Amino acid sequence: MVRLKDRYLLVNIIYTDVPPGQAKGGAVPDLLLYNQPTTSELRPQLLLKGIRSEVAALFGDCGAGAIDRSLQVKYLSPATSTFILRISRAHYRLVWAALAFMSRVPVRDGRPCVFRVVRVSGTVRKVEEEAVRRARLLVLAAKDEMAGNRGSSAADALGALLRSDSSSQARSVAVPGGQVDSEPEAESQGLSSDDG
């Protein structure tokens, strides 16, 4: 039995400015500035619509048709500005490229932001674990930031996490067909190719 193979993308929405309503009194710490909550107007349908239209703008009807059936929002958390997408494995790069080209939250008068793909995986379980891990680290780092001790361990851990993510992603992205990798981070790649 042939299975449909998917990729799951864990995406963060990063903001770079304070929301327009708030006063610019005190300086916001960088950590909290980048990880602001998204407006609750952002529904999964709106997100899908935004991504679809961006794919259509970049890749035309051909690309939009390719991802039309398989694109799905598995999880959307406006509080942590995180969402998980599911796309077929053959076309996940199209969606990823479209995310790189989106510069606003896809709602009416959306704020400018950057969509950052932090994890690509073959199974939804690994992506969920990663999302939970990141959220926990973020909370710890934010607590430290509020406590006022800069350069403390949790903030360093988060920095190290972001760094190692980009490098481990390098490795897992570099494996196009999902070959088994010895790295534990790239386990998901192996999982997806096991039962093919």
Partner 1 sequence: MLYDLNIVWSPGTPAADLERTLKFAKNLGYDVVALNHIIAGPIPTQPTPIPNPIPQLTPPHPSYPGGASTSTSSSSSTTNPSTTASTSLPPLSKSSSSSALPTTLRRATLVITDPSITNYRLPDYARAYDLLALRPTSDKSFAWACTSTSEAPALISLDLASHLGWHVHHRAAMAAVQRGVRFEICYSQALTPQGGVDGMRQRVNFIGNVQALIRATKGRGVVISSEARGVLGLRAPADVVNLMAVWGLGPEKGFAALGEGARAVVVNEGVKRRGFRGVVDIVRPAEGGEEVRRGDGEGEGEGGDGGKAGKKQKQQQKQQGQKRRNEGGGGGGSQQGEVSKRQAKKMKKEGSQAKA
Residue 112 as a binder of partner 1 (CB under 8 A): the answer is yes
| 77/166 with CB nearer partner 1 | 166
CB 121 within 8 A of CB 113: no
* Binding track over 143-182 against partner 1, x by CB under 8 A: -------xx----------xx--x--xx--xx-x------
Q: Give residues with Cβ within 8 angstroms of 11, minimum separation 6.
A: 82, 83, 84, 85, 99, 115, 116, 117, 118
Residue 99 as a binder of partner 1 (CB under 8 A): the answer is yes
The encoded tokens of residue 43 equal: 């529904």
Name the β-bridge partners of 25. none
Residue 101 as a binder of partner 1 (CB under 8 A): the answer is yes
| 42/155 with CB nearer partner 1 | 155
Residue 68 as a binder of partner 1 (CB under 8 A): the answer is no
Q: Strand order in 6-14's β-sheet? A: 72-77, 82-88, 6-14, 114-121
CB 193 within 8 A of CB 180: yes
Residue 85 as a binder of partner 1 (CB under 8 A): the answer is no
Segment contacting partner 1 (CB under 8 A): 78-86, 95-103, 134-142, 186-194? 95-103
Q: How far apart are the first and last CA of the chain?
A: 9
Residue 23 as a binder of partner 1 (CB under 8 A): the answer is no
| 129/165 with CB nearer partner 1 | 165
| 43/135 with CB nearer partner 1 | 135
Residue 19 as a binder of partner 1 (CB under 8 A): the answer is no
Per residue in 60-81, is it b (16+ CB within 10 Å) or e — as a string? eeebbebbeebbebbbbebebb
Residue 4 as a binder of partner 1 (CB under 8 A): the answer is no
d(CA 7, CA 17): 31
Give start and end residues of each alpha helix (H) in the chain: 30-34, 44-68, 92-101, 124-147, 153-174, 187-194
| 8/96 with CB nearer partner 1 | 96
Give the footprint of partner 1 on this chain (CB under 8 A). Answer: 16-17, 30, 34, 93-94, 96-97, 99-101, 103, 112, 114-118, 150-151, 162-163, 166, 169-170, 173-174, 176
